Amino acid sequence: MARVLIIEDDRVTADEIGAELQRYGLDTEWCGDGTSGLERARGGDYDAITLDRMLPGMDGLTLVTRLREFGVQTPVLMISALSDADERVRGLRAGGDDYLTKPFNPEEMAARIEVLLRRNTHRPMKLRVEDLELDLMDRQARRDGEVLDLLPTEFKLLEFLMRHTGRVLTRTMIFEAVWGYHFDPGTNVIEVHIGRLRRKLDPPGREQLIHTVRGVGYVLERR
């Protein structure tokens, strides 16, 4: 079972993070300040870490920098009340792997941790879910052997969904991964793009692979 270290000074937030991650079958441990957080992160052999940006003892940025200096490559999800684009860049430069702004949706947090946990596994050049196949070499998608006519954005969207098959991906995560921007794209941008991909992927009569998780996001899997 994967173990996640939660470094967060607010007990209530830490409990929420823990409860949500446990729901996904992850083992969690909590640590309330920066100095001991660094010690535990160095020695604990965790699979992922959620790290608050503002901490007593040592702030999150210093902590992740030091952690990387020690050669520890555990994926880190930074959680911060500071959502400034520069803050995000600073967090990621210091060695964080992903950045989430408070207030966060617990499902989104869990989804991001799941993505981080799977990041270490090798990246195949061919992705496959049931009869859906994505060839990243010749940039082609096939369903049941039939080539799908996808636009570049749709291809990127499908790749992101297929790389995280079975994981719920939030709209923000999709927007960040496919378009590379960190803002709220408004109303129903992702919904419309998913809808178009869905029409090409799951024509009537075929088993549907992209599912909507109400209030959270989307998941690609066979149900």
Partner 1 sequence: MNVASLSRISTVRLLLVYGVLFVLWSVLLIGWVQYDTMRYLSGVVDEILRQRAHYLTHIDRARLPDAVAQTAALDLRGVMAYGLFDAQGRKISGNLAEPPADVPSDGVVRFLPGGMHMEGSSEPIRARGVAVKMNTGEVLVLARATSVIDAVRTIIHRSLVWGLSLTLIPGLIGGIWLARGPLRRIRELENAAQPIRRGDLHRRLPVSARRDELDMLASIVNSMLEEIERLMSEVKGVCDSIAHDLRTPLTRLRTQLHRMHREAGADSAHGPLVEQAIMDVDALLDRFRALLRISELEDMHRRAGFTNVDLVATLDHVREIYAPLAEDKHIAFAFEIGPEIAPVHGDPHLLLEAMSNIVDNAIKFTPSNGRIQIRLGNDVHTAGAPAGVRIDVIDSGPGIRTSERGAVLQRFYRGTCSSKDVSGSGLGLSIVAAIVKLHGFRLEIVDNPAGGAWLALLCRRE
Place of tokens 């209530």: 12
Q: Minimum distance from CB of 196 to partner 1 (Å)?
A: 5
| Alpha carbon 151 to chain centroid, angstroms | 24
Least distance CB 177 / partner 1 (angstroms) = 14
Verify binding: residue 57, partner 1, rule CB under 8 A: no
Task: Please name which of 14, 84, 96, 28 lies closest in space to residue 59, comparing C-alpha atoms.
Answer: 96
Q: State yes or no: residue 147 binds partner 1 (CB under 8 A).
A: no
Total residues at interface with partner 1 (CB under 8 A): 35
**Residue 218: alpha-carbon gap to chain centroid:** 12
The radius of gyration of the chain's CA atoms, rounded to the nearest angstrom, is 19
Q: 40, 34 in Cβ contact below 8 A?
A: no
Site string for partner 1, 116-145 (x = CB under 8 A): ------------------------------
| Chosen residue from 62, 65, 105, 165 binding partner 1 by CB under 8 A | 105
Q: Does 27 bind partner 1 (CB under 8 A)?
A: no
Taking CB under 8 A as the criterion, the residue among 25, 71, 103, 145 binding partner 1 is 103
Report which of 114, 161, 167, 171 is spatially closest to residue 141, judged by C-alpha positions. 161
Question: Which residue in 45, 126, 53 sits closest to 86, CA to CA?
Answer: 53
Q: Which of 36, 73, 85, 212 touches partner 1 (CB under 8 A)?
A: 85
Q: Which stretch binds partner 1 (CB under 8 A): 8-16, 37-45, 62-70, 205-213?
A: 8-16
**Quick check: 173 and 217 in contact, CB under 8 A?**
yes
214 forms part of the interface with partner 1 (CB under 8 A): yes
